Structure 1
Amino acid sequence: MAHVSNYNLDQKFDFTTSIKKSLFIGLGIGAVLLIAGILTGIFGGGDHGAAEEAGGHAFHWYERLYANLWINNVYFTGIAIIGVFFFAIQYAAQAGWSTGILRVMLSLGNWLPFAAILMIVTFFVANHDLFHWTHSYLYDSNDLEHYDKIIDGKGSFFYWPMEKGTFPIFYIVRMFAFFGIWIFFFNKLKNLSFAEDNLTGSHNWSNIRKWSAIFLILFGITSSISAWDWVMSIDTHWFSTMFGWYVFASWFVAGLSAITLITVFLKEKGYLEMVNENHIHDLGKFVFAFSIFWTYIWFSQFLLIYYANIPEESVYFVERLSSDVYSPYIFVNLALNFVLPFLVLMTRDAKRHTIFLKVVCSLIILGHWFDFFLMVQPGTLGHNGGFGLMEIGMLLVFASLFGFVALKGLTKGNLVAKNHPMLEESYHHHI
């Protein structure tokens, strides 16, 4: 019987010039399209005009730029933390099948420090253009024209212990805390995982398992609250008790697709020799299953709001479904994130052939970007939003930079956790 030791377990990823060149080309194309979109916005050559009235004020091109920054910040932060989350799940569940691709999952977390800087800077620069609740006049009960009783009632959630409408210290502290916790656990798990390459026995594995379990509890709390803070608070009057789950599901499918694409990419480059079609099949099953889970959450949220028909709840879907700008993308969202993976990945063979997985996972990553586009743009830009050069450019810039950071992270140590106690089990994994 073949043995796992027959393979080169000290293999390291060589981040070649040609791979970097491909990413830089993507980055360059994205930057050109982004600049073209900005210039179009400034000089009013389309993109729904540069200075239409939006919510009682003149609309400016930079508001759309800020909205795009926020969409991509939140989306790629989610993909990064899902890599760490899925890594932690493998240890907490004592999973053996995934041993050969643990480092791929972990590589996504390298984006988190960059995500933290981008998110915090964007908030301080663009908060008034992104979040209606940041305007101080909403909390002044003497200002009869602007005072908002509902937002005032929620004000402490953002401003405590400061006076409402001043500096949102509670909100800022949460943002720093989320990234602080996530980056701490990413580094802790990464260091323990790489240390395992020089250790034998199961003590280190047990240690990683303990830290993973702690992280999963904290992730459950922080991922939901970050979804309320960063996305749901854009539509300050509206709320959904399912929203934390909804954002998690969207992040999770996109993260699984990114892990699958990187695994397939490494296999095609001759790495991860011990990873075979059974492991690829399992990744395909996860993508397939959680696409359906996302659809279940989407439909459950929609159905509850639809049949209750309470105005303050239904307005969220009404302003999207009745909009000339956004309504087509609701169907794009459902087609890319449910119909496509459901029909293409249904068969066993489709989940074992990398060509299907590459196409579906790439389109799912685009599809869940549209999901966040629909969560953010209507509440920030109203009818001045849309999908144009600025959106395509910003997405390409973020995707190229994210890919560069994740692949750079893979060069830091061995691609396979060679002393993992379940390596042999993973090698003989068969489904």
Structure 2
Amino acid sequence: MAHEVQNFNLDQKFDFTAGIKKSIMTVLLIGAALLVVGIVLAMMGGGHAEEGAEAGGHAFHWYQRLFANIWINNVYFTGIAIVGVFFFAIQYAAQAGWSAPITRVMLAFGNWLPIAAILMIASFFVMGHDLFHWWHAELFDKASSEYDAIIDGKGAFFYWPMEKGTFPVFYIARMIIFFGFWVFFFTKFKKIAAAEDQLGGTSHWFKMRSWSAYFLVFFAVSSSISAWDWVMSIDTHWFSTLFGWYVFSSWFVAGLSAITLTVIFLKGKGYLEMVNENHVHDLGKFVFGFSIFWTYLWFSQFLLIYYANIPEESVYFIERLKSDVYGGFIFVNIGMNFVLPFLVLMTRDAKRHGIFLKLVCTLLIVGHWVDFFLMVQPGTLGHNGGIGFMEIGTFLVYGSAVALVVLGGLAKGNLIPKNHPMLEESYHHHI
């Protein structure tokens, strides 16, 4: 039976051709052009004072919109990158056999993490004061008219051990620790994978399994806290006890969609011949299932807040639903991330055909970006937000940069883990 697997080229490497690079670079340049147009338009129309904006009646500047966009994309694409590593680790921890030939595709998404870390930490230093209301010293000064007892009560979570309103040491330390460990685990997985390709045997599979278990424990904690830090703390008064789960589910669906699109793309180029429609079906089931999981969390959060009708909780949804700027996007969010995937992927055949999955996964990647847009913009920009050239441009620039980094990383190593002990099982995978 082992000879059947040997019929495939297991030393296959992805050739990141000039043609593919050129296509991605074209998208990047279109995105950059749209971004420039968006910035110019914002500069011409910006600078006016906005009543009721979170800035507390201060003048609104065009660059605040750019900052919000950079933050949305930082958080969103960091999530897609770490979900690649998370899904990889799940395969080993669960001793999954079906996914053996596509594990390297999952792991390749982690190549964005070191860049994401630099972008995230640097942009927090540059833009944090404009994005995060809690980074305003007067909120913690009892003598100030701006004093806010609720934010003062949460101050230690950002500033410990420093004085509240000075420098958020604890917050930045968490960001550095999370990225540091994520990059450490990703590098560790890459090293073990390379050793397995060269040396064979099962010892590397067992080692990967142990390290995956450690990573999953750390990821469980860090993914939730990073969601509170990077997204929920924008609306400092408001909180939701399932917000960590909610952000994870949005990241996970987007990450699964990106992995599925990459596998279908590679299949289309003649790679991964061992991967058949049964493997694609499994990816389709994950995308379908976790789209429903995301909807369940969205609805749970919304329904409990709606039913309890406590002002400090309901304000989060009221300022989005009643807004001329964001109200419509709530329905776009549910339509793109639940209704369409649910209807399109419901049948068995739809999950086995690349054309349906390409459509749904592309919609989901855009749809979950809209989800993060709705989480970040209302709290940072008030009524000055929206989706225009700047938003589309930033999304395309980030998306194509991630594609270049991920595919570039994928091209550096073996595409198939040729000494994976479950490769034979995957070859006979049938559902």
Is the pair's TM-score, using the shorter chain for normalization, greater than 0.5?
Answer: yes
Q: Secondary structure at the match of 1:349?
A: helix
TM-fit CA distance, 1:223: 0.2
C-alpha distance in structure 1 between counterparts of 2:363 and 2:195, whole Å:
36
Query: 8 Å contact 1:88–1:216 — kept in the other structure?
Result: yes
Distance 1:142 1:52, change over 3 A: closer
The aligned residue for residue 213 of structure 1 is: 213
Alignment correspondent of 2:99:
98
* Paired position in structure 2 for 1:169: 169
Q: Hey, what does 1:296 align to over in structure 2?
A: 296
Which residue in the other structure is 2:65 paired with?
64
Task: Indicate the SS of the match to 1:351.
Answer: helix
Q: Which one of the candidate residues 45, 48, 52 is aligned to 1:51?
A: 48
Query: Is contact 2:39-2:62 (8 Å) kept?
Result: yes
Q: Do the aligned partners of 1:113 and 1:183 also contact (CA within 8 Å) in 2?
A: yes
**Alignment map for 1:257-406 (pairs within 5 Å):** 257-406=257-406
Which residue of 2 is the match for residue 240 of structure 1?
240
- The residue aligned with 2:119 is 118
Deviations 1:188-222 (A, max 9, x none): 01111121101222111000000000000000000
Counterpart CA distance in 2 for 1:24 and 1:424 is 38
Amino acid at match of 1:391: E
How far did 1:142 drift? 1.0
Q: Contact 1:52–1:384 (CA<8 Å) still a contact in 2? A: no
**Which letter maps to 1:69?**
I
Task: Write out per-residue CA displacement over residues 285-317 of structure 1, whole angstroms, 9 at most, x where no aligned residue.
Answer: 000000000000000000010000000000000
> 2: distance between equivalents of 1:116 and 1:50?
31
Tell me, in whole angstroms, the C-alpha distance in 2 between the residues paired with 1:180 and 1:192: 18
Residue matched to 1:157: 157
How far is 1:168 from its partner? 0.3
Query: Distance in 1 between the 2:77 and 2:413 partners?
Result: 23
- Give the distance between the partners of 1:195 and 1:67, measured in 2 at CA: 42
Mapped to 2, the partners of 1:212 and 1:279 lie a distance apart of: 22
Deviating above 3 A after TM superposition, structure 1's stretches of 4 or more consecutive aligned residues are: none
CA contact (8 A) 1:227 1:247 kept: yes
Amino acid at match of 2:143: N
Instruction: Give the structure 2 partner of residue 184 of structure 1.
Output: 184
> 2:169 & 2:116 partners in 1: Cα distance?
20
CA contact (8 A) 2:49 2:57 kept: no
**Letter of the structure 1 residue corresponding to residue 15 of structure 2:** D
Tell me if structure 1 keeps the 8 A contact 2:89–2:216. yes
Contact 1:185–1:215, Cα closer than 8 Å, also in 2:
yes
- The CA deviation at 1:360 is 0.4
**1:52 Cα shift?**
3.2
- The residue that corresponds to 1:88 in the other structure is 89
Query: Deviation digits for residues 326-363 of structure 1, max 9, x if unmatched?
Result: 01100000000000110000000000000000010000
Name the residue aligned to 1:108. 109
How far is the alpha carbon of 1:51 from its aligned partner?
2.0
1:407 matched to 2:404? no
CA distance in 1, matches of 2:232, 2:120: 16
Between the two proteins, what is the percent identity of the paired residues? 74
Measure, in 2, the Cα distance between the counterparts of 1:417 and 1:387: 42
**How many corresponding residue pairs?**
426
The root-mean-square deviation of aligned C-alpha atoms, in Å, is: 0.7
Q: Which runs of 5+ in 1 are unaligned?
A: none
1:249 and 2:249 equivalent? yes
Matching of residues 36-47 of structure 1 within 5 Å: 36-44=37-45
In structure 2, what is the Cα distance between the partners aligned to 1:417 and 1:149? 55
Once residues 121 and 327 of structure 2 are traced to their aligned partners in structure 1, the CA distance between those partners, rounded to angstroms, is: 31
Cα displacement (A) at 1:321: 0.1
Q: Distance in 1 between matches of 2:258 and 2:47?
A: 35
Q: Residues 367-414 of structure 1, C-alpha deviation per residue, up to 9 Å, x if partnerless?
A: 000000000000000000000000000000000000000000101111
Do the aligned partners of 1:260 and 1:283 also contact (CA within 8 Å) in 2?
Answer: yes
SS of equivalent to 1:7: coil
| Runs of 5+ unmatched residues, structure 2 | none
Q: In the aligned structure 2, how far is the partner of 1:93 from the partner of 1:199?
A: 23
CA distance in structure 2 between the aligned counterparts of 1:368 and 1:358, rounded to whole angstroms: 15
Partner in structure 2 of residue 12 of structure 1: 13
2:427 & 2:339 partners in 1: Cα distance? 33
